């Protein structure tokens, strides 16, 4: 047993990193940083526990640290305010792009939980462990994230002009 075990988890790490960052280059950097951290901290992984959860916890913590460091650097724009990448492989698929934009519009805390539970298919308890928060918080944020995503994905209804009013004669 060794660090080689992480190789089978790289696709899941890349997928989660891409959804967190919204950019392929930053996602690859985050995966690289996560794998480096895993190699340096390998002795902290407890055999018998779920390796993928441990790796995603490392990634989550690194991502939060990157965001915190980026915001405190006065010479840069916060990641949420950064422009989206110009090249998107799914550009021809309007619905997928709408979903991607809606996901990007969610606050990071909601997006992380939504992605862990719906995309990576973690249980509430596993997601809570990865993110270091109570299960109830995961459930609450997940509910709010789904509702917000539903609002963002629902097309606006056309306005019908002014409502008719009864006028007494």
**Dist CA 22 CA 30 (whole Å):** 12
Q: In the prediction, which pLDDT does 71 show?
A: 60
Question: Locate tokens 């690859």: which residue?
Answer: 28
In a domain, 118, yes or no: yes
Tens of pLDDT along the chain (169 residues) come to 466 777 888 888 888 888 788 778 888 898 898 888 888 888 777 777 778 888 888 888 888 887 777 665 554 444 444 444 444 444 444 555 577 788 888 888 888 888 888 888 889 998 998 888 999 999 999 999 999 988 888 777 666 666 666 667 6
Domain termination residue (choose one: 86, 104, 124):
86
Q: In the prediction, which pLDDT does 145 show?
A: 92
Half-sphere exposure of 127 (CA within 13 A, CB side): 25
Q: In the prediction, which pLDDT does 104 show?
A: 82
Same domain, 56 and 10: yes
In a domain, 61, yes or no: yes
Q: In the prediction, which pLDDT does 80 show?
A: 47
- Under 8 Å between Cβ of 79 and 70: yes
Q: In the prediction, which pLDDT does 92 show?
A: 41
Tell me the CATH number at 133: 1.10.10.10
Question: Read out DSSP for 38-90?
Answer: HHHTGGGS-BTB-HHHHHHHHHHHHHHHHHHHHHH-TTS--GGGSPPPS--TT
In a domain, 161, yes or no: no
Same domain, 67 and 135: no
Domain count, the chain: 2
Domain termination residue (choose one: 66, 86, 106):
86
Same domain, 97 and 82: no
**Dist CA 153 CA 65 (whole Å):** 30
Same domain, 65 and 99: no
Q: In the prediction, which pLDDT does 124 show?
A: 92
Q: In the prediction, which pLDDT does 88 show?
A: 46
* Structural domain containing residue 43: 1-86
Q: In the prediction, which pLDDT does 141 show?
A: 92
**Dist CA 91 CA 95 (whole Å):** 10
| pTM for the predicted model, two decimal places | 0.52
């Amino acid at each position: 047993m060794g660090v080689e075990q992480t190789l089978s988890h790289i696709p899941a790490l890349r997928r989660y990193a891409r959804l967190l960052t919204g950019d392929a280059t930053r996602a690859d950097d985050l995966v690289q940083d996560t794998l480096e951290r895993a190699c340096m901290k390998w002795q902290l992984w407890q055999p018998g526990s779920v390796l993928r959860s441990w790796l995603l916890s490392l990634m989550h913590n690194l991502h939060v640290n990157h965001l915190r460091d980026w915001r405190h650097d006065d010479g840069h724009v916060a990641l949420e305010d950064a422009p989206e990448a110009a090249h998107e492989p799914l550009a021809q698929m309007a619905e997928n792009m709408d979903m991607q934009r809606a996901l990007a519009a969610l606050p990071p805390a909601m997006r992380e939980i939504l992605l862990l539970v719906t995309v990576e298919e973690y249980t509430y308890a596993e997601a809570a462990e990865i993110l270091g928060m109570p299960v109830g918080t995961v459930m609450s944020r997940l509910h709010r994230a789904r509702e917000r995503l539903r609002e963002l994905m629902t097309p606006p209804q056309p306005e019908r002009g002014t409502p008719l009013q009864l006028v007494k004669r």
